[in-house]
Chains A and B, each alone.
Chain A
Amino acid sequence: MIESGLLNVQSVSRRRAGRSAVADLSFSLNRGEVLGLLGVNGAGKSTTLAMLAGALRPESGRIDLGGRDFVSQPDIARRLVGWLPENAPLWPELSVEEHLVAFARLRGMTRAQARQAADGVLARLQLGDLRRRLAGVLSQGQRQRLGLACALVHAPALLILDEPANALDPVQVGELRKVIRERAAAGAAVILSTHVLAEVVAVCDRVVILHEGRLRYDAPLSREGDGASLEHHFFSIATGAAA
């Protein structure tokens, strides 16, 4: 049974490189909810996220975003979706500020609105000192924060984060958690894909585990009680014990 929510994924499948990357995936996500997406390498997490971000088209199934068919109308991603892909791809020759203004403009903002939005997110993510620095000379952690800022600049209703804590130091990880919770409190839905189970326990309301492209587990995190139980489920599924 699919619940109504901001995001409804219904029986979505996709092959990549000749093999089934995601098969018959269904789940939903409500506003204000933070969903942890777990799975071993090759489980289909990045393919799922790319489809939810509009960068990849499902071969079958339906994705509804805000009540509209996202597959046939990928343009609705412009305002509604913010995506931080793994490794935060950036343009090395552009500055931090230019990235944010460019993404805000691409999302349909006017130049003045884009500058205002860029200033806001620069301040929130403490990137103000780096605003004129070129992306090509940033450290990996700084690149990651800039990628997050690009995903946040238009205050999306659905925030998709693929390994956002990569290369962040513990202080920055703490800041990232705060930002995620702030966005959820503001009514945004957040999908967080990570290999770090503690990250999911610390920030997510619900967890989904994928294995070999299929959804194998979907439950509210509070029901788990603690990280040990989630770890047990994850390893059972990953090693095939729960199959």
Chain B
Amino acid sequence: MTVAAVAGLELRRLAVRPLAWALAALTIAWLAWTFVLGLGQFLGAQVKLAAVADAPGFTDLVAIPLLAELAKLAFLVVPLMTMGLLAGERRTGTLALLASTGLAPWRIVVGKYLAVLAWLVLWLLATLAMPLLVGAGSTADWGKLASATLGTALMLATLAAIGIACSAATSFPAIAAAMALIITLALWTIDRGAQAAGVNGGFLEWLTLATHLQNLLRGLVVTSDLVWFALAITLSLILATRRLGSDRERQ
């Protein structure tokens, strides 16, 4: 009940602030341009592709690259969306006011997380509408597209959870955004050093976000990947909750 009230309040605030609308408009325009370019190249290559056995189709050449482009944008968009959720409220004093309503910190964190998640799902759906509308009239690989969509959604959910944890850690939204950006980029490429040293596999590869997303973008739904996303989200939300709870001790 109160989680829903926090989520409703946050969604209302997102809806009336220009940041969410500006980010949505700019990124969807960029993604639409990317989609049109990809579709044009796909249509132009039809003759060549027809001559190749098991040639990649619309899903591989247009739809999944579009989702990969959205995933790239998410590194910037999600920290911008989450930076003020707790840091901004702490700065203006409204976080203490929220705490005074007797809400447990986890309810505040989960409520705000659900609100930003709702926005991100709408963002993903608006992007997905492009390949879905075109794919409906063609022979898209729906299974692969579903897997890629799941992967992108899980990545967005993970970035949002990390963003909230960073927002909980500071009173400065800009610092929260920078922290979230650095942490997610580090998580994306953490095994690069090991790869350069010729070491493949192992813990660092498992820890890397890219490993788990790329499997799903290839149409491979593996339980260990889903577990990784679930762990990353849970750990981030627990950290955010603990930090918020400690506000009552630390102020």
Binding site for B on A (CB under 8 A): 16, 50, 53-57, 74-79, 81, 83, 85, 87, 89-91, 93-94, 98, 102-103, 105-108, 150
Contact = CB atoms under 8 A, between A and B. Distances in A.
B5 A90 contact: no
A75 B102 contact: yes
Given A81-B102, A94-B12, A103-B101, A108 B94 contact: no
A83 B97 contact: yes
Contacts of B251: 16, 50, 55-56
Between B5, B9, B16, B102, the greatest number of chain A beta carbons within 10 A of the residue's beta carbon is seen for: B102
Contacts of A83: 97, 100
Contacts of B92: 89
A16 B251 CA distance: 7
A94 B10 CA distance: 10
B97 A85 contact: yes
A78 B103 contact: yes
B104 interface: yes
Given A93-B13, A93-B17, A81 B100 contact: yes
B96 A55 contact: yes
B248 A77 contact: no
Contacts of B5: 102, 105-106
A91 B94 contact: yes
Nearest to B101: A106
A74 B104 CA distance: 8
A57 B100 contact: no
Contacts of B94: 89-91
B86 to A, nearest CB: 14
Interface of B: 1-2, 5-6, 8-9, 12-13, 16-17, 92-94, 96-104, 248-249, 251
Between B5, B16, B100, B104, the greatest number of chain A beta carbons within 10 A of the residue's beta carbon is seen for: B100
A76 B92 CA distance: 25
B136 to A, nearest CB: 38
A54 B102 contact: yes
A47 to B, nearest CB: 9
Q: Is the interface of B mostly helix, strand, loop or mixed?
A: helix
B97 A89 contact: yes
A202 B211 CA distance: 69
Nearest to A107: B101
Contacts of B249: 57
A240 to B, nearest CB: 28
Contact of B93 (A76, A81, A87, A98): A87
B13 A50 contact: no
B150 to A, nearest CB: 33
Nearest to A102: B9
Given A56-B248, A74-B102, A75-B104, A105 B97 contact: no
Contacts of B104: 75
Given A91-B13, A93-B17, A54 B100 contact: yes
A73 to B, nearest CB: 9
Nearest to A104: B5
Between A56, A79, A91, the greatest number of chain B beta carbons within 10 A of the residue's beta carbon is seen for: A91
B188 to A, nearest CB: 33
A98 B102 contact: no
A53 B100 CA distance: 5
Contacts of B2: 78, 105-106, 108
Nearest to A106: B101
Contact of B102 (A78, A85, A87, A91): A78
B1 A108 contact: yes
A51 to B, nearest CB: 9
In the A-B complex, the 10 residue pairs with the closest CB atoms: A89-B93, A78-B102, A77-B102, A105-B5, A55-B96, A53-B100, A57-B248, A75-B102, A106-B101, A55-B100
A79 B101 CA distance: 8
Contacts of A77: 100-102
A41 to B, nearest CB: 18
